[in-house]
Chains A and B, each alone.
Chain A
Amino acid sequence: DTAVSQTPKYLVTQMGNDKSIKCEQNLGHDTMYWYKQDSKKFLKIMFSYNNKELIINETVPNRFSPKSPDKAHLNLHINSLELGDSAVYFCASSQDWTDKDTQYFGPGTRLTVL
Chain B
Amino acid sequence: QKEVEQDPGPLSVPEGAIVSLNCTYSNSAFQYFMWYRQYSRKGPELLMYTYSSGNKEDGRFTAQVDKSSKYISLFIRDSQPSDSATYLCAMSGTGGSYIPTFGRGTSLIVHP
User: Which residues of A pack against B, CB within 8 Å?
Assistant: 4, 33, 40-45, 48, 56, 90, 92, 97-108, 110
Query: A41–B8 contact, CB under 8 A?
Result: yes
Q: Which residues of A contact B98 (CB under 8 A)?
A: 97-100
Query: A107–B43 contact, CB under 8 A?
Result: yes
Query: A103–B42 contact, CB under 8 A?
Result: no
How many positions in chain B have a CB within 8 Å of any CB in the partner chain?
A: 21
Query: A42–B102 contact, CB under 8 A?
Result: yes
Known: A42-B102, A42-B104, A43-B102. A101 touches B44 (CB 8 A): no
Q: Which residues of A contact B44 (CB under 8 A)?
A: 43, 90, 105
CA distance A18 to B92 in the complex (A): 33
Known: A105-B44, A105-B45. A100 touches B92 (CB 8 A): yes
CA distance A42 to B51 in the complex (A): 23
Q: Provide a sorted-by-A list of 30 A–B residue pairs whose CB atoms are within 8 angstroms.
A: A4-B43, A33-B99, A40-B8, A40-B104, A41-B8, A42-B102, A43-B88, A43-B102, A43-B105, A44-B102, A45-B99, A48-B99, A56-B99, A90-B44, A92-B43, A97-B98, A100-B32, A100-B49, A100-B92, A101-B32, A101-B34, A102-B46, A102-B49, A103-B46, A103-B100, A105-B43, A105-B44, A105-B45, A107-B42, A108-B41
Q: Which residues of A contact B45 (CB under 8 A)?
A: 104-105
Q: Which residues of B contact A4 (CB under 8 A)?
A: 43
Indicate if B24 sits at the interface (CB-CB under 8 A).
no
